[in-house]
Structure formats: C-alpha cells, structure tokens
Structure 1
Amino acid sequence: MDTPRNRVLEAWMAEHGYSSNSLADAVNRALEELTGRHGGLDGSSVRGWKAGRVTWPKSATRRALENISGLPAVALGFVPRSRTRADPASRQQEDPVMKRRTLVGGVAAAAAAASIPGIPVPRRIGMSDVDRLQKRFTEIIASDQQHGGQLGIEQRAAALADEALALQNRGSATQRVRNSLYASAAAFRSSAMWAAIDGRRYDIAKVHMREAQALAEMSGDQAIKFRIWSHAGTMYRHMGRPTDALAANDVARNLHLTRSDPLFACLGHARQAATLGLTGDATAVRHALGCAQEAFERADPSLARPVWMTGISDGSEVETLALSAHLRLGNFEQAETHAHRSLTLLRPQMRRDHAINTARLAVAQLGQGDAEPAVVTAMKVPADIAAQHARVTRVLQGFGTALRATAPHSTAMRTWTEHTAVWGSTK
C-alpha cells in the first residue's frame, strides 16, 4: 500500500512561503542552534517528508521543526513510529480517525503551550497575510481609477502601508515573506504618494516618496522601485521641473526590469516623452514615443504583472502620455488623435483618466480653433470630477481661460460660463 502524502506539511509550507530547499536550510540552521552542528538536510529530505516516505523524523530534527513552526510535530502531519507499525488493514480502517486525532491533538497541544506563562508561541506570518494585503492593494488601485487624487485614498493607502509594516513585528516569517511585506508596504506608500500627486499636494507627496523608496530598497522588488521613481518623474513634471523629472525617469528606466520586460521599458519611454514635451524638444519627444511603441510591440501580453500596470498593458497609458506630450508642444492635431485613441482604449472603470483625457481633448480642439466642438467635448466631463479632482479642474480652468482669450463674446463662451456655474453645487 502506498504511503499517504503529508498534506498537512505541504499546506503549512505553502502558507509560510517555504520551498523544500528553503525549509531544509531553515531546519539546518535550527539544528545548529540546538546541537552546535549544522544539519545535513537538503531539499530531497523535505520532499521525503512531504511524500510520506519519512513519517517521523529524528528527535533533533523534530525539535528544530517545532522551533521553526511553533507547532508540535504531530500538528505538521507527522505520525509517531508506534502508530506506523500498526497492522496495514487496521491502519486503513483507522486512517480517517487517526488523521483527525492527529490534527486535533496538534491544535490542542499548540493551544496548551500558548496558555502556559513564560512559553511564547510566536505567530507565524505567511503568504496568506501578504495575499490579504494584495487584495487591499487591488481595492486601492480600483479607487484611484474611479476617483483619483482624493485625500481619503491617500490616507487609506498610508494606513495600509503601516499595517504591512506592523506585521513584521507580530511574529516570525521567512525572508521571502518579509521581503513581500516590505514590497506591500512600499506599494501602499507609492499609492499614497500618487494620490497626493494627483491631488496636487506635492509637499506630502515628497514625504510619501521618501518612505516608499526606503521600503522598496528593503524589499528588493524591482517593479515597485520602478513605480516609485516613475511617479517621482511624474510629480516633478507636474511641478514644472523637467530636469528633475528626467533624472527620476532615468532611474526607473535604468532598472534591470526594463530589460527583462519591455512593457516596463515602454512606460519609461512614454513618461520620458511627456516630460520632454515640457522642454519643447519635438525631435526628442518623437524619438521617445517611437521607442515606447517599439517596446510595446515586443512585450509579451501573457506575462503576469502588477495590477497597476493595466493601463500600460492595454495601450491606453501610452496614448495618454503621447497626448500630454503633444499638448505641451502645441501639436494640437496630433494631440487630438492621441486623445481619441486613449478614450477608445480606456476601460470604463477608469473614470479619472476618462475625465482628464476628455478635458485635454477639448483643449486640443480649441487649439485648432474649433470653439463650439471643444465646449461640447469639455461639457462631457462629469461635474463631480470636474469640481473635485485637482488635475481635471486645472485643465478645465486652463480651457476656460483659453476660450475667453480666443472667443470672449461667442455663444460657446456663454454656454461654457453657464455650464461651469453649477460646479460649486457638486463640491
């Protein structure tokens, strides 16, 4: 009869981020602490435990495992030898009961140990904690796509960053789990940074940026490093500091990640193009956008990427950044083309981006002398976003100023004035 696999151990290892090799290494270190000699286990030893070939490891090894997990060996699915010597037919009959007793006994033993003063049983932080944080991060991204720039989003993201860091001190964890927690904290802090940038709260955005950069370094996560430095470039661009923006973009663009995944390179080139628009260098803008398009075409669409890369994957962000670059250059016809493309590609839930690109489309149309169509377009921006989102409001205020300068006594101007008069009621 085949020996049953140790599913309990397999589940515990998956929960806490252990591979066969990494658990063997951890047990060897624990054995060295217990006995003064480094253990001789390797990945094949752990695979033997999982396969059920070894149902009751040696006493020192069991103790090392118990020290690592905070659980008795039976709670990890191991069965004492006295039980394994039972008659096969009898064992087959008793297996379900024995498994239940083993599990209940293990839980009871752990609970009993926890109740004894002076015997700490540390909580083990695992990948399920990281997964829970990742779900919250997805919610933050969804809120940003819907509303963007709101103080509430910034505050929630900052609080979740603190929660991720607090987990580091609540129990033991593998290095993989700790790195993932730092990456989660950096991701939340980068979202707080972005919300502050989007709301034009630049001083607080810088505070979030510095915290996010430190956390990203501790995590070693290239993707989150890219996001933070790329956001820094966007922040300096919005502040009208192209030199600093280009420098921050270069940090992001020079990460190894941009060479292993062309989609990150695409975003880096596109954001560089938007910044180069501030310098008036049309040739450099065209070159950067060409590089972005070439990288986009090389990117593998099947690769798993962070949730915040959605707009890059569908091409909408590249069109958005090209729109921004050409508006800065005064290339209104090309800007209009990119605006239409972006609005076609943007997903319905991305209300903030729909609103800001609709406002930019109106600016591009007005720049070509089409006042009436431009006003019709500008009026499509939802009133709540027009009044409450700092960047959208700023674009529409610039639109109104340009309209007043080019067609002060037109029907279009009167229509726009009447339309904007109701914005105050939406605040």
Structure 2
Amino acid sequence: MSEAASRNTLLVAARVRHGWHTQQEFADAYERHALALGEQAAISVRQVRRWESGRSEWPNRDARRVLESMFGLPLERLGFIRPGASGAGTVVGRVPVPARKGMDVPPAFGADEARRQGGHAVVGRARALLENAARVDARCGPGGALPEALGLVKAIEATARDVRADARRELLALGSRAAEFTAWLHHDGGAPPSTVLYWHDRAIEWADLSGDGAMHGYVLLRKAQATERTDPARMRDLAHAAVHGPWSLPLRARAEALQQEARAMALLGAAPEDVTRLLDQAYEALDAAPPVRTVVATCTGPLCGAYDRDRLTAQSAICHREAGRPERAVGLLREPVTTGVFGPRDRAFFTAHLAGALAAAGEPDEAAMTGLSVLRLAAGPRFGQALRELRRTVGLLRPYGRRPAVRELRLSLGSLSA
C-alpha cells in the first residue's frame, strides 16, 4: 500500500479543523495541553509526522490521554488502529469501520448483559461511575477524571443501542449528564473551545432524545459559563435562552442562569441598574426554591441542587467586579470565601476572583497573599479556571512587581506553569 493510501487522513482533518494548520502548531498545542493535564509534555514534529503517515503504533497511555482530551474523540475516530482490533472491524483507507459490538466497553456495560437485564442495572452502574468520576475530579482535578469520563460516555453510547426503549431513554438522560461533565473537564483542563463545544452539543442531543428539556436549558447555562469573558454577547444570549426556553428550569438553576446573564451584561457595559435587576431576580428565584437537600453538588442529582446563597453572593461579586466596581466585589466576596461551604475547586476559583478584585482596588500586597492561598488549593489538582483567573490577577499586579509578596506570587505561578 502506498504512503498516500495509508495516510491517517482523520487525524490530519481533525488537526486542521481545530486550527492547527502545521505539524509544528499541533506539537506546540499538544505540549500546552499535556502540561494542563500533568502528562509528559513534549512531542516532536517527527512524532506528529509518524502519526499522520499511518505508520505509527498505537500511542502510549500518556499520549492517548492527551490526544483524546485535545480532540474530545476516541482514538479510533482519529484514525488510530487499536492493537488486536483486526477482527473487530474493517479498515478502509486508514478509516476504521468498527463492528456493531465490542467498542472497548467496560465489562459492566457488556451488550449481552444489558439485553438480559433490560438495561436498568447498567444505568445504576453508570450513575455510580459518573459520581465516582466527579469525586476524582474534585480530588485530583480534570486530568485525573477525564479518562474515566470519556470511557463512561463511550460505554453509554455503545450500550444504549442494545437495551429496551425505556432503559435507553434513561441511559441517554444519564449520558447527557456524563457528556456535560466531560465538556466541563475539557474546559477546566484548557482544551480548545471547539472540543468543549463538541461535548456540550453531545449533551444537548442526548437530553433532547431522552426528553429532558430542563437538561437542555442547563447545558445552555454551562455553555454560557464556558465562554468566560471572551464573548459576552454570546454569554448573554446563552444564559437568556437557558432561562426563557421552552422548558422549566428548576429554580436554583434559574437563579444561576439569571446571575450568568447579569455577568454578561456587566461585561457588555450595561447600566448598573440593569445588572442589579437581573441579580435581584436571581435572589428571588433562589429564595423561592425548595430547601437545599445537599451541600455537595452531584452529577446525577437535581440540577444545581447545591446552589445556595453563598454561591450566588460570590458570583454576584464577580458581576460587580466585571462592572468596574472592585471595592463592592471585595466586600461581597470576603464572607462567602471565608465561611461558605465550598469544595476546594470552588473555593480556589472564588478566592482567585477576590485576589483580582483586591488588585483592581489598589491593595496589591493583600491581593498577592490571597493569590498565594489560591495556589495552595489549585496547584496540585491543576484547577484550570482558578489558575487562569490567577494569571489575570498577576497581570493586574505587574505595576507592583517589586513588592515581595507580588514577586513571590509571580515566581510561584511561573514555576507551576513551567
């Protein structure tokens, strides 16, 4: 077979689609993504050439994690051939055509067992695995949880073909939760926006197929949050659609979506009274919600089931910061950051915003000390959102670079990046 015939066109097309038009650009992007996941960082252009020529062997464990995270796709859909997979499907021009069954599904998701049990037992196992992946994420960060989440989504996709209609609906509803969680892991890990969008769209598709309208609205909220500060008009439109779409969001999710719309309005330079009006509506929705049943957010429980006043207050402070009122943000953030019941990731994220608000308010030493406390929370598990916000704070502190605390923060964050 000629080199042209065996070329891995799937990987080449996926690379170009993500904006990496040369092999060197792809190698550089791989290194950045590997660092975010805590994996072996560097590959050479020669390695990229081998992968794209079709002559390379199945990538090693670390490379598999990075590649699947970068593209949001299993390696088979990037043109790689799994060792021993010759009997599972036919290969045509380097494009694997998988067999109907046997898609690397964990034993708990075997198609034969799913048919025997009607799928409901598999749904229970999948729910437990999704919650476990969330616990891994909270403890170890996105790099630790992403392989498990990707495997779970792939298992749900394969198993849903072989169960009865009622169990299929339930399994796809859970798959929507798993796909949204996978999108979040990619976002926190610093994946390209197109990869995050892929998984959000998969979550919406499965929510629609399972008839879960509220989940569709919730994913729009999560899309709005994933835009961060880069596109406030899109953030506003997505958050507004989450609230006003043809579904009924739970009140706690409605409160968070209204807050997100307020943040977008602040970024767009809206009048303070318009931002305050949306925040007031968020508080009204939260006050009307049933009591919180848990202080820990779960991937399979009620949407935004742990969303409480401390979280809304902290997010409202971020809105005031975006509106150019850092002193107001500092005043609102101090109490929830100190006393709120947050997990390590959320505490790191809100504390990073407190550091930024302090820097903008002209308190560089306190800002730097607060930033160092963020590093203690976020450095080990590589909580990406918190670390990105901390880098923004370091940028604000550049005029105060000679101060000892500011210098320590800059060097510590630089050492982590390296």
- TM-score, normalised with respect to structure 2: 0.64
Residue by residue, what CA displacement relative to the aligned partner does 1:338-382 show, whole Å, maximum 9, x if unpaired?
Answer: 32243246435x211111211111111122211222222111123
* 2:172 is equivalent to residue 179 of structure 1: no
On the 8 A contact 1:138/1:307 being kept in 2, the answer is: no
Name the CA shift for 1:414/1:236 in 2 (closer, same or farther; >3 Å): closer
Of 156, 159, 164, 1:164 maps to 156
- SS of the equivalent of 1:301 reads coil
On the 8 A contact 1:154/1:193 being kept in 2, the answer is: no
On the 8 A contact 2:136/2:144 being kept in 1, the answer is: no
In structure 2, the gaps of 5 or more residues are 1-113
1:351 alignment partner in structure 2: 344
How far did 1:187 drift?
A: 0.8
On the 8 A contact 2:190/2:384 being kept in 1, the answer is: yes
2:43 alignment partner in structure 1: none
How far did 1:254 drift?
A: 2.0
1:414 alignment partner in structure 2: 407
Counterpart CA distance in 2 for 1:135 and 1:210 is 23
Of 273, 276, 279, 1:283 maps to 273
Of 280, 293, 316, 1:322 maps to 316
* 2:367 is equivalent to residue 374 of structure 1: yes
2:145 alignment partner in structure 1: 153
* 2:213 is equivalent to residue 219 of structure 1: no
How far did 1:236 drift?
A: 2.5
1:45 alignment partner in structure 2: none
- SS of the equivalent of 1:123 reads helix
How far did 1:411 drift?
A: 3.5
Of 136, 142, 152, 2:135 maps to 142
On the 8 A contact 2:149/2:178 being kept in 1, the answer is: yes
Counterpart CA distance in 2 for 1:236 and 1:360 is 17
2:7 alignment partner in structure 1: none
User: Which one-letter code corresponds to 1:265 in the other structure?
Assistant: R
User: Which one-letter code corresponds to 2:320 in the other structure?
Assistant: H
User: Which one-letter code corresponds to 1:277 in the other structure?
Assistant: A
Task: Choose between structure 1 and 2 for higher RCO, CA contacts under 8 A separated by at least 6 residues.
Answer: 2
1:334 alignment partner in structure 2: 328
The structure with the largest alpha-carbon Rg is 1
- SS of the equivalent of 1:379 reads helix
On the 8 A contact 1:190/1:212 being kept in 2, the answer is: yes
Counterpart CA distance in 1 for 2:302 and 2:379 is 24
Counterpart CA distance in 2 for 1:142 and 1:378 is 25
2:55 alignment partner in structure 1: none
- TM-score, normalised with respect to structure 1: 0.63
Counterpart CA distance in 2 for 1:314 and 1:216 is 25
* 2:195 is equivalent to residue 210 of structure 1: no
1:133 alignment partner in structure 2: 126
Counterpart CA distance in 2 for 1:122 and 1:420 is 52
Name the CA shift for 1:328/1:386 in 2 (closer, same or farther; >3 Å): farther
Counterpart CA distance in 2 for 1:151 and 1:351 is 16
- SS of the equivalent of 1:168 reads helix
Name the CA shift for 1:287/1:307 in 2 (closer, same or farther; >3 Å): same
- SS of the equivalent of 1:179 reads helix
- SS of the equivalent of 1:200 reads coil
Q: Which of the pair is proportionally richer in helix?
A: 1
Counterpart CA distance in 1 for 2:405 and 2:341 is 30
2:93 alignment partner in structure 1: none
Residue by residue, what CA displacement relative to the aligned partner does 1:173-215 show, whole Å, maximum 9, x if unpaired?
Answer: 242x221111111111111111122223212101112212111
Name the CA shift for 1:379/1:246 in 2 (closer, same or farther; >3 Å): same
1:74 alignment partner in structure 2: none
User: Which one-letter code corresponds to 1:190 in the other structure?
Assistant: E
The Cα RMSD (Å) is 2.8
Residue by residue, what CA displacement relative to the aligned partner does 1:80-106 show, whole Å, maximum 9, x if unpaired?
Answer: xxxxxxxxxxxxxxxxxxxxxxxxxxx
Name the CA shift for 1:123/1:337 in 2 (closer, same or farther; >3 Å): same
Counterpart CA distance in 1 for 2:335 and 2:355 is 14
On the 8 A contact 1:229/1:248 being kept in 2, the answer is: yes
Name the CA shift for 1:229/1:421 in 2 (closer, same or farther; >3 Å): closer
